Structure 1
Amino acid sequence: MKKNIIAIVILLGLVSWGIYDTMKKNNAVKASLASSEQVIEGLDMSSLTIGINKGNIAPEFELKTLDGESVKLSDFRGKKLIVNMWATWCPPCRAEMPDMQKFYDKYKDEDVAILSVNMTTSEKSVDDISKFLNEFEITFPVVLDEENKVAMTYQTFSLPTSYIIDSKSIIQQKVTGPMNYEMMDKMISEIQ
């Protein structure tokens, strides 16, 4: 009887923790979406929604680079953008990086950009990120999702995941899995 009571108490504790944790994560996502509403200027919000689906305005975020520089998603407004979420240990991420760098080299002087978001909480060490960027000679902006906030907001469950965003900050496509140069080129050429 005593063991049953202890098991029930433990089970109730775990269920309570699960509910608390889920509510906390949902509040973080809502806060991120609310902050996005404050930075969208010049768009007719009556027909647009902030969210992560095609046709939604991409939720705002601000993260730091390895050098500690703050970068916001809204810094890229006016450009066609690939937001790529990845990690150093991910083989498909490693496979797409050379094509991503090739794409960036071709378009960096035009109104096209890449913002690479490292899923830092999944890394063994931040030093691994620097080594990875040096190994692949990455020169496009890389920011660190050190608190997993962007991963939660954008519901990134597998890596790599990329969002193709137009010059008005509207999501045009979500790609789960690695992309090659031709895919990137085609997707970006099809949006404004």
Structure 2
Amino acid sequence: MRKLLFITFSVFISISSQAQNKKQMIFQAEIANKFGDFITFSNDQNKQIKKIQINKKGVFKDTMNIATGRYLLSDGNEFTIVYLKNGFDLKMKMDAKNFDESIVYSGKGAAENNFLAKNSIFEEQTDIDSLLASPETDFLIGMDKKKADDLKRLEDKKLDPEFVVLQKKSIDNNYNSIVKYYKKNYEANLAKSKLNNTASPSFDYENHKGGKTKLEDFKGKYVYVDVWATWCGPCRAEIPALKKIEEKYHDKNIAFISISVDVDKDHDKWKTFVAEKQLGGVQLFADKNWNSDFMKGFGVISIPRFILIDPNGNVVNSDAARPSNPELQNVLDSLLNQL
């Protein structure tokens, strides 16, 4: 992976076997509202292994000779994990504007890939940030339960045995990586709370609408900061909830700021994503991405990350609730009622 940009169960951990069947596989799809003219398949090294052109109707069909394993299928900025194996005759239907929730497979290989499609939704709904902020005993109990739930979902005799083996290895690797991350960064998580009630680090970033915007421009208002990136699945999953929060509080004394930590080479991708998704609030692009002073000041090492700052520029919560968490509205209502 790149840097450990976020810890979530949607981390792409792919384990491929080297054995191949002589028979090739067929993959075809109908994609409504496609983002691009091509879809790509990448392996666990994030290396593109196949690029297929999609016609104007969003349809494509291709034959592949491929090693059995898990791959990343991408359409523009969106992606999903697929299980491919020679001998499969796989058909996918999807609406790219409702990417994960709309994916449905049919044909040989459908059972395994429908499992992965549904599993990605479970993963994005996992509140890993709460676990990472928990005491060690609670964290381990929560992780053990998550692992048990993941394994239980595999209890289907109709699934390809080779797929089950790969998926169990992925679950084990994911569990171990998150536990390792927790132990390494527990002190950093504790340090977040020490930032509360202190002066917030500032920023002065490029604004999607033009010019630059700094924290001081919002003095006198509460500021809810969303640190995200276009490639981050859990970040994208929060967008609908964030839009609803922005709409509810649009006439209140609070500003909603989204700061992208995409790398410089993805600057244009960020601009396009914000426009296509019609993202609201104030959309900013961090200089030096992860090495920006604001990110380092808040110890941002995983995303999505939400920060709440008061009208005087002091930190209310350096690790605030997500938009999808009902607790956020309770907090905002309480604070705004005090003004």
TM-score by length of structure 1 reads 0.65
Rounded to whole Å, the distance in 2 between the matches of 1:184 and 1:99 is: 11
Q: For residue 70 of structure 1, what is the amino acid of its counterpart?
A: K
Rounded to whole Å, the distance in 2 between the matches of 1:54 and 1:167 is: 14
CA offsets, 1:87-110, max 9 Å, x none? 011111001111111111121222
Rounded to whole Å, the distance in 2 between the matches of 1:89 and 1:183 is: 26
User: Which residue in the other structure is 2:243 paired with?
Assistant: 101
* Cα deviation, residue 130, structure 1: 2.4
Work out which of the residue numbers 143, 149, 152 in structure 1 matches 2:284: 143
> Is 1:168 aligned to 2:309, yes or no?
no
* Cα deviation, residue 134, structure 1: 3.0
Rounded to whole Å, the distance in 1 between the matches of 2:257 and 2:328 is: 13
User: Which residue in the other structure is 1:69 paired with?
Assistant: 211
Rounded to whole Å, the distance in 2 between the matches of 1:174 and 1:129 is: 25
* Cα deviation, residue 135, structure 1: 3.7
2:274 is paired with a residue whose SS is: helix
Q: For residue 140 of structure 1, what is the amino acid of its counterpart?
A: G
Specify whether residues 181 and 99 from structure 1 end up closer, same or farther in structure 2 by C-alpha distance, changes over 3 A only: farther
Q: For residue 125 of structure 1, what is the amino acid of its counterpart?
A: D
Contact 1:80–1:111 (Cα < 8 Å) also in 2: yes
* Cα deviation, residue 188, structure 1: 1.5
Contact 2:259–2:284 (Cα < 8 Å) also in 1: yes
Contact 1:160–1:177 (Cα < 8 Å) also in 2: no
1:12-161 aligned at under 5 Å gives the runs 53-121=195-263, 125-148=266-289, 149=292, 150-161=294-305
* Cα deviation, residue 124, structure 1: 5.2
Superposed CA RMSD in Å reads: 2.3
Q: For residue 159 of structure 1, what is the amino acid of its counterpart?
A: I
- The runs of at least 4 consecutive aligned structure 1 residues that moved more than 6 Å come to none
Q: For residue 302 of structure 2, what is the amino acid of its counterpart?
A: S
User: Which residue in the other structure is 2:156 paired with?
Assistant: none
Rounded to whole Å, the distance in 2 between the matches of 1:137 and 1:178 is: 20
Contact 1:115–1:142 (Cα < 8 Å) also in 2: yes
User: Which residue in the other structure is 2:138 paired with?
Assistant: none
1:143 is paired with a residue whose SS is: strand
* Cα deviation, residue 177, structure 1: 7.8
Specify whether residues 68 and 135 from structure 1 end up closer, same or farther in structure 2 by C-alpha distance, changes over 3 A only: closer
CA offsets, 1:127-152, max 9 Å, x none? 22123223432121011113131222
Where do 5+ consecutive residues of structure 2 fail to align?
Answer: 1-192
Rounded to whole Å, the distance in 2 between the matches of 1:141 and 1:129 is: 13
* Cα deviation, residue 52, structure 1: 7.1
2:328 is paired with a residue whose SS is: helix
User: Larger Rg: 1 or 2?
Assistant: 2
Rounded to whole Å, the distance in 2 between the matches of 1:178 and 1:166 is: 17
Structure with greater strand percent: 2
Specify whether residues 176 and 109 from structure 1 end up closer, same or farther in structure 2 by C-alpha distance, changes over 3 A only: closer
Rounded to whole Å, the distance in 1 between the matches of 2:282 and 2:325 is: 18
Specify whether residues 81 and 75 from structure 1 end up closer, same or farther in structure 2 by C-alpha distance, changes over 3 A only: same
Structure with greater helix percent: 1
CA offsets, 1:55-104, max 9 Å, x none? 11111221111343110101111111101110011111001111111111
Specify whether residues 180 and 159 from structure 1 end up closer, same or farther in structure 2 by C-alpha distance, changes over 3 A only: same
CA offsets, 1:146-170, max 9 Å, x none? 3131222221100011111122222
